[in-house]
Amino acid sequence: MAKKKTEQRTFDDVISLLGKERFDVVRASEGATKGTAYRVTKYGCAAEIAKDTDGTVEITHRAGFLLNGQIATILDRGYQKFLKTPKLEIAATADHLRSIHHFSEEFKEATGSMSLYNESLGTTSDKYMYDRVQGRE
């Protein structure tokens, strides 16, 4: 069986495809260190992308739920997941996590990013901070 080769999409192709898939795409006020970043939003979630030097897409900020205009990361404390920005932290609800998962799957499909098996099963956390292992190496 031949290995399936994935086609890398150009940045312009991705921007066009995101618009067709009803994502909102605007210039990001903060974000990428390389060039100009664009914020992609849908379902109350967002990610940021920029044009890489080879003309493809660079994801400069991973997908997360929007809280007060900032993209929150998912913090897992073992007993509960939280949405965290530099100024705010709230408990993540099932609706938050479903929105992030739905957004991430559509975003990866549009950008041509690799979809990993464990991520397709549900939302994965950005950071794990279990109380019972705190302080251990």
User: For the segment 6-34, what is each residue's pLDDT rounded down to a tens digit?
Assistant: 567 888 888 888 888 899 988 887 544 44
**How much is the pLDDT for 31?**
47
Q: Is residue 67 pLDDT above 80, yes or no? A: yes
Q: Number of structural domains, the chain?
A: 1
Whether residue 6 lies inside any domain: the answer is: no
Q: Do the Cβ atoms of 110 and 18 come closer than 8 Å?
A: yes
Whether residue 26 lies inside any domain: the answer is: yes
Q: Is residue 50 pLDDT above 70, yes or no? A: yes
Whether residue 83 lies inside any domain: the answer is: yes
Report in angstroms the alpha-carbon separations of 27 from 2, 6, 50, 53, 59: 40, 28, 10, 18, 14
**How much is the pLDDT for 17?**
84
Q: Which domain holds residue 82?
A: 11-130
Mean pLDDT along residues 100-129: 69
